[in-house]
Amino acid sequence: MSTASSPFRLAARLDAVGFSDIVTIRNRIMKLRDAGAAVYQFEGGEPFLNTPEHIKEAMTRALSENKTRYAPSSGVPELRAAIAGKLRQRNRVPAFDKDVIVLNGGMQGLFGAFQCVLNRGDEVLVFSPYWTPIKDLIAGCEASIVLVPTNEARREGFAETLARHTTPRTRAIYFNTPQNPTGVVFTREETSAVARFARERDLVVFSDEAYEDLVYEGEHVSIASLEGMFERTISCFTLSKSYSMTGWRIGYAAAAEPWMTGLRKTTLYSTNGVSTPTQWAALAAISTPTDFFDGVRAEYRERRDLLVGGLNELGFACAPPAGAFYAFPEVSRISRDSRAAADSLLERAQVATVPGVVFGAHGESHLRFSFSTSLETIRDGLDSMRRQL
Ligand SMILES: Cc1ncc(COP(=O)(O)O)c(C=O)c1O
């Protein structure tokens, strides 16, 4: 038991840091399944595909060649060089080896990025709905999140909307495209407007590009590729979604100084780098010819169209998401309270989703459905909703 005078008190800076609601939802689903119920699972956040064979083979090869010792904590030089090449060619980001660090997934990049920039009391502008852990990562720096409604920005203009939420404490913008949970892909014009605002107000940008390879309409624009942006942007990438490598825990970040020094410190004193054989597997992943993604995107697109078509037929208004693998329909037909809507869907139709409010107040009245699952699950889940709702 901890009391105010007890020495067993969690450090104050972790008090405001929460645990993901999604964990609670997963526990409920497990309970239902244990009780013998069939659950159609749409709540997940990972690729349904397996890690490609050539990546697994590269891991096996690294192990048999005893590439198992400490690597430089910023990453194996060959991998960093390949990442820098990829960033220049595919993202048009002017990064060189020295500007790249290999990390344990996108999460470690974001953790380090916020730690590098934010001081107590700083504010970060976050387009909302937003990926929930961002709030906790920012809270862990004793800074706070200021929500900027994406729909409002798209309707009324980015500069005007961002300006309305800016205060003297505003230090940075978190910019995620394609977005989780909405699947929004910001256009080049929108990205340029955000970049212009950051330059005019002298803000840092945290660019989260976890879903860069899963774009079905439009193009992925890396904000750091725009003029004058590389210096003020920390760009976070992951292999989790692009190569179905969520459990491998590998990603990377690109940044100029002083941010790279900060990222090296947060990495050195947390994980001291990424497992060495995993990095050799990542080199095989990064070296994959890009036409690999044509096949991957076709698989996701088929699932997206099936799910979105079905949801609209059921009366859940849902525009086809331009990227990522989530649909975010409006579900006030069931309830305006998204937690109640998710509960009702789970109980009545055994369909598991994530309540939109988990992604911030602007997500209320919506549910997040992942279409990263089998076509069979999507068909059966839709059938169950047709029967039960
Ligand atoms: C928007 C976004 N950013 C970053 C991540 C981090 O992914 P990981 O830590 O698995 O690389 C995720 C994972 O779900 C995500 O949805």
Q: CA dist 185 to 129, 154, 220, 315, Å?
A: 13, 11, 7, 24
Q: Residue 174: pLDDT band by 50, 70, 90 thresholds?
A: very high
The per-residue pLDDT for 25 is: 80
Task: Compute the distance between CA of residue 179 and CA of residue 225 in angstroms, rounded to an integer.
Answer: 18
Does 360 contact ligand 1 (Cβ within 6 A)?
no
Tell me if 88 sits within 8 A of 111, measured CB to CB: no
The atom of ligand 1 lying closest to the CA of 105 is: 11
- pLDDT one-digit tens code per residue, 329-373: 999 999 999 999 999 999 999 999 999 999 999 999 999 999 999
Does 150 contact ligand 1 (Cβ within 6 A)?
no
End-to-end Cα separation, the chain, in angstroms: 46
Structure tokens at 47: 């690729």
Question: What pairs with residue 233 in β-bridges?
Answer: 205
The per-residue pLDDT for 2 is: 52
- What is the layout of strands, in order, in the sheet containing 354-355? 326-327, 367-370, 354-355
Across the range 67-76, mean pLDDT stands at 97
Fold for the domain defined by 12-50+292-388: Aspartate Aminotransferase, domain 1 (3.90.1150)
Closest C-alpha among 72, 73, 70, 78 to residue 97: 78
The per-residue pLDDT for 30 is: 84
Structure tokens at 314: 């059921």
Q: Residue 33: pLDDT band by 50, 70, 90 thresholds?
A: confident
Task: Compute the distance between CA of residue 59 and CA of residue 77 in angstroms, rounded to an integer.
Answer: 17
Q: Is the pLDDT of residue 16 over 80?
A: yes
- pLDDT one-digit tens code per residue, 110-135: 999 999 999 999 999 999 999 999 99
- pLDDT one-digit tens code per residue, 196-227: 999 999 999 999 999 999 999 999 999 999 99
Across the range 239-256, mean pLDDT stands at 98
Task: Compute the distance between CA of residue 77 and CA of residue 101 in angstroms, rounded to an integer.
Answer: 10
Across the range 56-66, mean pLDDT stands at 98
Task: Compute the distance between CA of residue 195 and CA of residue 169 in angstroms, rounded to an integer.
Answer: 19
Q: Is the pLDDT of residue 52 over 60?
A: yes
Task: Compute the distance between CA of residue 30 and CA of residue 230 in angstroms, rounded to an integer.
Answer: 44
The per-residue pLDDT for 29 is: 85
What average pLDDT is seen over the chain? 96
Does 207 contact ligand 1 (Cβ within 6 A)?
no
Across the range 140-166, mean pLDDT stands at 97
Q: Please state which CATH number belongs to domain 53-286.
A: 3.40.640.10
Q: Which residues contact 68 (CB under 8 A, 6 or more apart)?
A: 62, 276, 277
The per-residue pLDDT for 26 is: 80
Mutate which of 126, 241, 271 for ligand 1? The one with the most ligand atoms within 8 Å of its CB, which is: 241
Asked whether this chain's domains 12-50+292-388 and 53-286 adopt the same fold, the reply is no
Max Cα distance, the chain (Å): 61
The per-residue pLDDT for 21 is: 75
Cα 107 to ligand 1 centroid, rounded to whole Å: 6
The per-residue pLDDT for 1 is: 52
Does 104 contact ligand 1 (Cβ within 6 A)?
no
Structure tokens at 329: 């329909």
| Per-domain residue ranges of the chain | 12-50+292-388, 53-286
Q: Which residues contact 257 (CB under 8 A, 6 or more apart)?
A: none
Predicted structure pTM score: 0.96
The per-residue pLDDT for 3 is: 58
Task: Compute the distance between CA of residue 207 and CA of residue 174 in angstroms, rounded to an integer.
Answer: 6
The per-residue pLDDT for 4 is: 62
Closest C-alpha among 194, 189, 182, 186 to residue 218: 186
